[in-house]
Amino acid sequence: MQLSISRCGGVALAALALSLGVSPSALAEDYPNKPIQMIVSYGAGGSTDTMARIFAKYAEEALGQRVVVVNKPGAGGELGWVHLANADPDGYTLGLINSPSVETHPFTRADTVGYSLDDLQPLANVVTDPGVLAVAADSPWQSLEELVAAVRAEPRSVTVSHEGVGGDDHLAALNFAAAAGIDLNFVSFNGNAEATAALLGGHIDAFEGNMSEAAAHINEGEVRGLAVWSNQRMEAIADVPTGAEQGYEVVSSASRGLALPAGVPDDVYARLLEVTREVIENPEFEAELARLNMPLDPLYGDEYAASLKASQDSLKAVWDQDPWIEP
């Protein structure tokens, strides 16, 4: 007897199993028995993609099956998260979710967005990566204040990258612009790898991204960091001052975690959570992320889900009071 099950949640799956005289545990006990797909909602080569591929390598060892990274960039991450939310909740599709973008799209694009946080089942946060504003090494601006002076003299004259409206890059740059009383010219990219290439190629004036993307270029002298949006200087780019040091109280970071489509059977979820914890707490995995300047920041299961919901509620309150508009 062959069964075709599509978009069957954990409760329905359990009921089906009982009707056949099979326990839900028995359905999951041979999991996984085929490759697992990992959705990355940004382009290849960026920090999200890099972290996903490192995680996949260690997860394969723990699961005994291939974990295949599939890039589905577009719409500031929305396309990939819609694909993840609509996947069969059988444990064979998981994905990277990026905060705050994954939380902001459902209310900033309420009329068109194709998913909600309730459609996703969070596994764990892995990395929290502070924001950085940087310019090319040959830029005329040696400091944040020089960039501010240039924009005050000619509003919207400075082009700044971001990965999508409502994402951490966009919000950091908006908050900085508001604090400085300036008007920046935003340009959206499908990932910070594209944005970095545009900066180095002279196609944009400034890069608003994450420390993990910027650190190597800063330390190699290709890029000049003007500010890191953290509470204190970061060891990887110790010469880059915080925004607060320069009079701009801006703090911003991107969190990258893992989630499943909602409705995955409990046993399968428990197995994936166990493997996720095993990978994150593997010293070799931690060392690889450290070499890439990705600050590990683990948060698991229900605690991670609660954190995402609290963040969404906070951001929604800001949006309701003063919505940010796409330039």
Q: What is the pLDDT of residue 5?
A: 31
Tokens of 33: 């028995």
Q: How far apart are the C-alpha atoms of 136 and 63, rounded to whole Å?
A: 43
The model's pLDDT over 66-120, given as tens digits with 9 standing for 90+, comes to 999 999 999 889 999 999 999 999 999 999 999 999 999 999 999 999 999 999 9
The model's pLDDT over 131-165, given as tens digits with 9 standing for 90+, comes to 999 999 999 999 999 999 999 999 999 999 988 78
Taking Cα atoms as reference points, which of 227, 232, 245, 108 lies closest to residue 177? 227
The answer to whether the beta carbons of residues 51 and 256 sit under 8 Å apart is: yes
Burial bucket for residue 183 (CB in 10 Å: 0-12, 13-18, 19+) = middle
Q: What is the pLDDT of residue 1?
A: 29
- Measured N-to-C along each axis, helices 78-85 and 101-108 cross at an angle, to the nearest 10 degrees, of 90
Q: What is the pLDDT of residue 28?
A: 57
Q: What is the pLDDT of residue 325?
A: 65
Predicted model pTM = 0.79
Q: What is the pLDDT of residue 22?
A: 46
In this prediction, the residues of the chain whose per-residue pLDDT falls under 50 are: 1-20, 22-27, 327
